[in-house]
Chain A
Amino acid sequence: MSDRTPRWLRYLGLVRPNVPADVDDELSFHIQMRIDRNIAMGLTPEEARRDAIERFGDVVVVRSALVKHDERQHATERRAEWVSDLVQDLRFGWRALRRTPAFTIAAVLTLALGIGANTAIFSVLHAVVLQPLPYAHPDRLVTLGQGSTGEYLALRERLRTVSDLAEWVATTDPVDDGRDALRLTGVAVTPNLMPLLGAAPMLGRGFAPSDGAPGGDHVLLVSFATWRTELGGARDVVGRTVTLEGLPYTVIGVMPPSFRYPRADVQYWMPYVIDPKNIGLLWGVGGKEFVGRLAPNATLDQARREVHAVWPSLRTLNPVWDPGADYRRDATATPLKSNVVGASAPLLWMLFGATLLVLLIACVNVANLLLARATARERELTVRAALGGGRGRLMRQLITEGVLLATIGATAGVAIAVFTVRALVAGVPTGLPRANEIAVSGTALAFTLAMSIATGIVFSIVPALRATSAAAWASGSMLGRRGWGLRSHTRVSGWLVGGEIALAVMLVVGSLLLVRSFAALRSIDPGFDPTHVIAARISAPEATYAPGTERLATFYAEVLDRVRAMPGVRDAALVDQLSLAAPLQGLAIRVQGQYEDVTRQLPFIDHVQTVSPGYFATMRIPLLRGRSFTDDDRADQPPVAIVSQSVARRFWPSGDAIGHRIGYPYDSPWFTIVGIVPDTKQDSLRDTSNVTLYMPWSQRTQKVGSELWLVARTTGDPRAAGAAIRRIVHGIDRGVPVSDVRTMEDVVSASVVGARFTAALVTAFALVSLALGAVGIFGVMSYVVSERRHEMGLRIALGASGRGVVTLIVGRALRLTAAGTAAGLVCAVIAVRPLQRWLYGVSVLDPATFAGVPIVFAAVALLASYLPARRAARANPAAAMRDAAAGAGG
């Protein structure tokens, strides 16, 4: 129990007492004393030593027992001491914080904002990106992308590095469970999908291999949520029959709530039935997603190489057409997680980086507040130092206070985070994968705790170092009140605020870029006029309204007639795939005189819309040449088509497209092109491939189901027409679901919701950082003013104008801000580079943004320094003189 080392050093665990050395000291002292005495008694040194050791007994045993004992003893003591010191520090810190409520509230709020934002984004990042997928050995799962069932079967047979492969395809079908018509979202999966992912139903049984063969029973697995809400949540749901596409399906099981593959909104899974005899369906229809599990000894890299080698070799297998020499050159395997998480990962990391900046700014701000407060507590600290507190002890006290402050801030921050995470999840219904898994988890809380301790140390270390060195110095010389230089305090503050501004500049630059990009995105002309248009999805069940039947045609004709007759409706039309709502399906086509051989590679048209005659008028897509579809373009008339400008230019660059003929990718009657319209945005506003082929709905029966979108142009608010459309459809047939009733403007906004979300979030962070920066400037300028009160008073007494004093103070703030802004802009040039991928129509080094930011910050500096400056200008010259005289005299 050596007392040689100062207590605080041991407290910090920096110095450990040397227990064995102490024990040796004690024992050797004993034996040496005995030897000395023995020699004094007349023994020879040799005899003296032997006797001493004999009297002592077994030195080795005693020594090791003592060392063991003392070391244990030490550990216990150190712990107890540490705890008691900590309790003392905390109690003292708490009292100190309560003595200065304004400071405490300001600091806690600042930290709560910083830590709250950080925890919220970390929660999302953790749930979406960091946490493994909720499947068995998720790191062994891969996706191979999309393909046809023929390719699936061939790959499944050939691949050695992938032990099992499943395919799935989204199906959306009206489900009639005997109540009002509703629309459920489902996927058709090969029966091996669930075992492949390591999932099993919580109720009932899973799919059997026979469920995926032709002629099997019609069976369904339903999601937990669907079971609870749509199907009543009773355990006897297994065995119940629901109707899909007019066919009865038996519910064989309920999947657990954790199973939500491939998306959280999937409500049921049905077996994907593969008929090996239907060659056309097998090889002609793509869009199936392949997901597999790596073979036990295979690596991802091996799988990548094998897929890359095997898939292109399937080219010759395709009995329907030759997919061309470039076929599947880019085939590869990707980890399932990166496929699921996709573009969200970089976005969330970017947002996390932004919140880290906010937190850093909050730290700097609080450090500044602490610095100012340390000045106010100078006398207290000096006294404590003089009473033998010791520098280390004082520093520990200040850091403990800082961590205490941060912990209180973190507690408030967690409350903010819980609220924010909820808002975040609600705010991005479609934008984020795995949204259902997002919550402020234990990991996130642990992260916050670590964060608050780290922030506590970060923001209190500079003030603590300065305060304690000054206090030690002051206690040594016991020089009066102004023991340590306020001037140097101001200089440190200035550095801190400058740094704070630099950080804020980076955030503001990022936010301006994103906002400008979003504005650019919104200003893109989609090629149609989305105002005053309402859209509604009408899902006529194929069992009652089979595609191509008279009954279906009559139904939609009746709907159109009645909607057109509604007051306030100018025009209405039908379209199979609504623009900007979801990626559109395309079609390979033959072109007469250019691509006629179906055994060779055919050109692909990215977007095909099947429309009723009024479509172009309703969407206000002007006709450039030729004619629009009319009611005369019936099924028994010669087939016609309309193409967008890019299609016309691509195939008939020099001539007129009108009159030329195109066709389906198999032997079938030609369609004659009768009109040309401008390109429109189809998949997204950023879309650059705007080739669209329009076909009249009355002539196109293949590949178009019985579900159509109704679009109607209204004179007034289109929203009002929504309910009426629903009534009209249900008035004709109650069994036809109407869903996704939205205005076209909403559809357009929803297509850029991700960009808006990112811009809004980063802007919120930027505003917070701007506000914190303003507070920082205000704080340091107020301090400058109070410090130089005498000087200001003297200046005024000597004839300086109030304006001159204001200029002096504001000028100083502007210089400080200019330095911080310059540093921030330089850093921003590098820091905003990752934003590139989210920017549209704006360069990462957008001159307007980089020029605008200094103006914003100059304005903030003006505002934040004006109040302190005015206070300085009103300094009472007489009082200042008196103070100065007193200062000089005393």
Chain B
Amino acid sequence: MPTSRDPGDLLQGTLRILILKSLLLGRAHGYAISRWIEETTDDVLRIEEGSLYPALRRLQDRGLVTSEWGLSENNRRARYYTITRAGRALLRAEASIWLEYSHAVARVLRAEPSIA
């Protein structure tokens, strides 16, 4: 949760949102998800790619994504993940909390006196 002080929780919560958001574009395999995150965040939120997979399993256990085997663009066997309806709903709810939170933080930081 974004409100938690535990960096692990913060990371997981963030990772969850990143994964779900990436899947809004359509089904994708793990590598595609990590590439999307990389490009969208300009590599700012650098995540350890390996942690993506346990996170995906957790999402799947909670019914937020589903998976199936398919063929990749270069004809290799790959596992594809798809966001579920519940996943979209959760993403919406969490996104609004995040936005609210970051707005609040931004307001605080912009308030007088200026930091700089």
Q: Please tell me which stretch of B71-79, B94-102, B108-116 contacts chain A, meaning at least 4 of its Cβ atoms lie within 8 angstroms of it.
A: B71-79
**Is B30 in contact with A26, judged by CB distance below 8 angstroms?**
yes
Q: Which residues in B have their C-beta under 8 angstroms from that of A59?
A: 50
- Tell me whether B54 and A1 are in contact (CB under 8 A): no
**Which segment of B2-10, B19-27, B61-69, B85-93 sits at the interface?**
B61-69
Chain A 631-655: CB-based contact to B (< 8 A → 1; otherwise 0): 0000000000000000000000000
B50 touches A56 (CB 8 A): yes
Closest-by-CB residue of B relative to A26 is B79
Cβ of B57 under 8 Å from chain A? yes
Chain B CB within 8 A of A30 CB: yes
When A66-B57, A69-B57, A73-B61 are in contact, do A29 and B50 touch as well, CB less than 8 Å?
A: no
Q: Say yes or no: A34-B50 contact (C-beta < 8 A), given A26-B78, A29-B76.
A: no
Distance to closest chain B CB from A221 (angstroms): 67
Q: Answer yes or no: A231 CB below 8 A from chain B CBs.
A: no
Q: A25-B77, A29-B29, A66-B54 are in contact. Are A1 and B67 (CB under 8 A)?
A: yes
B54–A57 CB distance below 8 A = no
Interface centre among B50, B57, B69, B72 (most CB of A within 10 A): B50
Q: Does B42 contact A (CB under 8 A)?
A: no
CB distance from B50 to the nearest CB of A (A): 4
Question: Given known contacts A56-B48, A57-B49, A58-B50, is B57 in contact with A3 (CB within 8 Å)?
Answer: no
Is B31 part of the binding interface, using a Cβ–Cβ cutoff of 8 Å? Answer: yes
Partner of A30, one of B31, B67, B77: B31
**A29 neighbours in B (Cβ, 8 Å):** 29-31, 72, 76-79
Report Cα–Cα, A4/B69, bound state, in Å. 9
List which A38-94 residues lie within 8 A (CB) of chain B.
55-59, 61-62, 65-66, 69-70, 73
CA distance A26 to B68 in the complex (A): 11
Is there an interface contact between B49 and A56, defined as CB atoms closer than 8 Å? yes
Whether the Cβ atoms of B69 and A34 lie closer than 8 Å is no
We find that the number of chain A residues with CB closer than 8 angstroms to chain B is 26
User: How many Å lie between the Cα of A59 and that of B53 in the bound state?
Assistant: 11
* Complex CA distance for A57 and B68, rounded to whole angstroms: 24
Chain B residues positioned under 8 Å from A2 (CB to CB): 69
The winner among B49, B76, B77 for most chain A CB atoms within 10 A is B49
State whether the Cβ of A827 lies closer than 8 Å to any Cβ in chain B.
Answer: no
In the complex, per-residue mask of A812-847: 1 if CB is within 8 Å of any chain B CB, else 0: 000000000000000000000000000000000000
Q: Please tell me if the beta carbons of A62 and B53 are within 8 angstroms of each other in the complex.
A: yes
27-63 of chain B: CB within 8 A of chain A: 29-31, 34, 48-51, 53-54, 57, 61
Shortest Cβ distance from A55 into B: residue: B49
Kindly supply a per-residue 1/0 record for chain A positions 1-41, scoring 1 wherever the CB is within 8 Å of any chain B CB and 0 otherwise.
Answer: 11110000000000000000010011101101110100000
Residues in chain B near residue A26, CB distance under 8 A: 29-30, 53, 78-79
* Neighbouring B residues of A30 by C-beta, 8 Å: 29-31, 34, 49
Chain A positions within 8 Å of B61 at CB level: 73
Contacting residues, chain B, for A25 (C-beta < 8 A):
77-79
Please state if B49 and A3 are interface contacts (CB–CB under 8 Å): no
With a cutoff of 8 Å between Cβ atoms, the chain A residues found around residue B76 in the complex are: 29, 32
Output the least CB separation between A209 and chain B (Å): 72
For the complex, give the distance between the alpha carbons of A33 and B69 in Å.
16
Residue in chain B with minimal CB distance to A36: B74
Knowing A26-B78, A33-B31, A69-B57, the reply to whether A3 touches B69 (Cβ < 8 A) is yes
Name B78's closest neighbour in chain A (CB-CB).
A29
How far, in angstroms, from A30 to B30 measured CA to CA in the complex? Answer: 7
* Nearest B residue to A34, CB-CB: B31
Bound: A59/B69 CA distance, A? 21
A36: chain B residues at CB < 8 Å are: 74
Q: Which residue of A lies closest to B57 (CB)?
A: A69
Residue of B nearest to A58 (CB): B50
Give the docked Cα–Cα distance between A639 and B51 (Å): 113
Point out the residues of chain B lying under 8 angstroms from A70, CB to CB. Answer: 57
Complex Cα spacing A57 to B78, Å: 20
Chain A residues within an 8 Å CB radius of B79 = 22, 25-26, 29
- Contact between chains at B54 and A69 (CB < 8 Å): yes
Q: Which of chain A's residues have a CB closer than 8 A to the CB of B50?
A: 56-59, 61-62
Contact of B54 among A3, A22, A33, A62 (CB under 8 A): A62
CB distance from A23 to the nearest CB of B (A): 9
Chain A contacts for B31, CB-based, 8 A: 29-30, 33-34
Whether the Cβ atoms of A65 and B54 lie closer than 8 Å is: yes
Shortest CB-to-CB span from B80 to chain A, Å, is 10
Instruction: Return chain B residues, CB-CB under 8 Å to A61.
Output: 50
Which of chain A's residues have a CB closer than 8 A to the CB of B69?
Answer: 2-4, 22
Please report the C-alpha to C-alpha distance between residue A73 and residue B61 in the assembled complex, in whole angstroms. Answer: 9
Q: Who on chain B is nearest to A59 by CB?
A: B50
CB-contact partner of A3 in B53, B68, B78, under 8 A:
B68
A60 to B78: give the CA distance in the assembly, Å.
Answer: 19
In contact, B29 and A57 (Cβ under 8 angstroms)? no
Q: Which chain B residue lies CB-closest to A1? A: B67
Contacts of B53 in A (CB 8 A): 26-27, 62, 66
Interface centre among A3, A26, A70 (most CB of B within 10 A): A26
Which residues in A have their C-beta under 8 angstroms from that of B51?
57, 62
Query: How far apart sit A26 and B53, CA to CA, in the bound complex (Å)?
Result: 9
Besides the contacts A26-B78, A61-B50, what 13 more A-B pairs have beta carbons closer than 8 Å?
A: A2-B69, A22-B79, A26-B29, A26-B30, A29-B31, A29-B77, A29-B78, A30-B49, A55-B48, A56-B49, A56-B50, A62-B54, A69-B57
18 contacts between A and B (CB under 8 A): A26-B30, A26-B53, A27-B53, A29-B29, A29-B72, A30-B31, A32-B76, A33-B31, A34-B49, A55-B48, A56-B49, A57-B48, A59-B50, A62-B50, A66-B57, A69-B54, A69-B57, A70-B57
Q: Which positions in B face A, CB cutoff 8 Å?
A: 29-31, 34, 48-51, 53-54, 57, 61, 67-69, 72, 74, 76-79
7 closest residue pairs by CB, A with B? A57-B50, A57-B48, A62-B50, A33-B31, A30-B31, A56-B50, A56-B49
